[in-house]
Amino acid sequence: MERLTKAALATGGAAVLLVSGAGTLALWTDEGLATGTDDTSGTLAVTDGTCGAWTFDGGGAVTEGIVPGDTVVADCALTVGGTGVHLALDDITVSAPTWAETDALTGALEVAVDGATLDGAALTLPLTDPVAVEAASDLVVTVAATFPEASGDHTQALTATLEDVTVQVTQGHLALATP
């Protein structure tokens, strides 16, 4: 019996060595090819627009000139739109404007976004949640120019004629609605 036990152990050990020594036990494998599909990115575009006349931020036309401490605003109308199921606006900013002529007054004015509407609905800036954008939406950005109180005497009797201001919109993403 001892010989049979030894033979059984030797046969089992040899089988283990064969299996482990060979690396892996051969199983059949095969591959299939899945054909891909197109995926297209969306778009975001802002068309050039125009700005209206400067008015005081509290209302009223600028008729006799601005003084340090004043803020004047102008509404700039543009069209924003694009394609994409979850396309939204995440941020609206303006760049430093270009002036017809640069002087101490244009150098002193601080220009920023003061407000905005999208298709007539007021936006709360800065945007805390993305706002959906259609293929073509009317965007009106209120640009504010603040004349700092610390401006010196060298800013008197000058004219600031706005030529351009760049309005930049940043794309946001609307999350999928959960059922």
pTM: 0.78
Would residue 138 count as lying in a domain? yes
Count how many domains the chain has: 1
pLDDT digits over 130-179, tens only?
A: 999 999 999 999 999 999 999 999 999 999 999 999 999 999 999 876 66
- The full DSSP string for 9-61 is HHHHHHHHHHHHHTSS------------------EEEEEEEEE---EETTSSB
pLDDT at residue 14 greater than cutoff 90: no
Would residue 97 count as lying in a domain? yes
Q: Which domain holds residue 88?
A: 43-173
Would residue 1 count as lying in a domain? no
pLDDT digits over 74-133, tens only?
A: 999 999 999 998 999 999 999 979 999 999 999 999 999 999 999 999 999 999 999 999
